[in-house]
Every structure is written in C-alpha cells, then in structure tokens.
Amino acid sequence: MFRPLICLLPLALLAACASPQAPKPAPLAPDAFIKVAAGPCYFRCSQFNIVVRPDGGYALDNIADTRKDGKSEGRFGPDVWAQAVAAFDEAKFDTLNDVVTMEPGGSPCISDAPSVTVTRHFTAGDEKSVRWYLGCRSKPLSTLTGKLNELFQYKTLVAQDN
C-alpha cells in the first residue's frame, strides 16, 4: 500500500523544486514609442519633442531655443530602446502620478522653470504620460529624464551651444 506512495515521493519532490516560469512580457505594440516633450520657461529654455521607436528610429521637432529649430529624423540604434525601457523600470514610472510637482516633504518649487512630459507606450492600451515641472524636486524623474537626455543625445541634437 505504501509502495506506490513511496515511488511517487521523488516525483513530488522534483515538482516542488521546479521553479515556476516567469510570465512572458506582452509583445510590443506596432506603434510603441517613448516621447519626451519639453515646454517653455520664463527665460530661454529649449522647447522640443522627440519620439523614439523600438528600432532606435526617432522623429525630433526642435520648436524653439534649440541648436537648430525644425524637424528631423534619424536612428540611434536598437540598444537605446532597451536602455530607455530599463530607465523607466528603475524610475518605477508606472507608480508615478500623472503630474509631479515635488516629492512628499520636498522643498518649495522654483518658479519659471520649464515642464517636461514623458510618455511611454509599450503595449496595446498601456500608454502613460507624466508631466513634471522641473522647478520641483523629483528624484525618480530627474534620474529618468537625465538618462533619456543622454540616450537621446540631447546635447548633440537639441541643446544650444552656450
């Protein structure tokens, strides 16, 4: 009577040790993108929109106070997309409020600074935008926008020579 149970014991132990498979991430939407849009400020601040696709292609609209105002397109390379996605994960982007003015207990905002809206759309129905007023402290958004500016070559494509 116990012999069949004893024979099944090793199988039960093996099943208990097997690690569950992680859920597969949802496939990218055909129109997946990351967008960074910088608005005006009181003095001279670069105003621009850049939309980056998973293949590393981008569309840039330098609106005002940029290196060269106007529209352009180009390609960063596919590794830039993966690094940008990692930056969104590190910032815990999905947990941020739609409008961020400061971290709880943060210092008062500095007026006249520009705002930045960061939008990510990876899979169908998941688009999220966060608008951040740069005069207000937010460590997650400061880190995220800094990394996106680096990856999307802000100094080369947007910033004025000063």
Tens-place pLDDT, residues 129-145: 999 888 888 889 999 99
Q: Given pLDDT bands bounded at 50, 70 and 90, which one contains residue 162?
A: low
Question: Does the pLDDT of residue 5 top 50, yes or no?
Answer: no
pLDDT value, residue 28: 82
In a domain, 85, yes or no: yes
Express each pLDDT in 61-94 by its tens digit.
999 999 999 999 999 987 999 999 999 999 999 9
pLDDT value, residue 23: 56
Query: 13 or 146: which carries more pLDDT confidence?
Result: 146
- Whether residue 63 contacts residue 48, with contact meaning beta carbons closer than 8 Å, is answered with yes
In a domain, 19, yes or no: no
pLDDT value, residue 126: 87
Report the predicted TM-score, pTM, of the whole model to 2 decimal places.
Answer: 0.79
Question: Does the pLDDT of residue 13 top 50, yes or no?
Answer: no
pLDDT value, residue 9: 47
pLDDT value, residue 154: 94
In a domain, 95, yes or no: yes
Express each pLDDT in 31-50 by its tens digit.
999 999 998 888 888 999 99
In a domain, 122, yes or no: yes
In a domain, 23, yes or no: no
Here the CATH number for the domain that contains residue 126 is: 3.30.1560.10
Both tokens of 47, joined, read 């105003």
When divided into structural domains, the chain yields a total of 1
Give me the mean pLDDT over the 16-29 stretch. 61
In a domain, 8, yes or no: no
pLDDT value, residue 70: 95
In a domain, 123, yes or no: yes
pLDDT value, residue 106: 66
> Hey, which bits of 2-160 come out as E strands?
33-38, 47-52, 57-64, 70-75, 99-100, 115-121, 128-133
Count of helix runs (H) and strand runs (E) in the chain: 4, 7
Give residue 145's domain range: 30-157
Alpha carbon 141 to its chain centroid, in Å, reads 9
In a domain, 3, yes or no: no
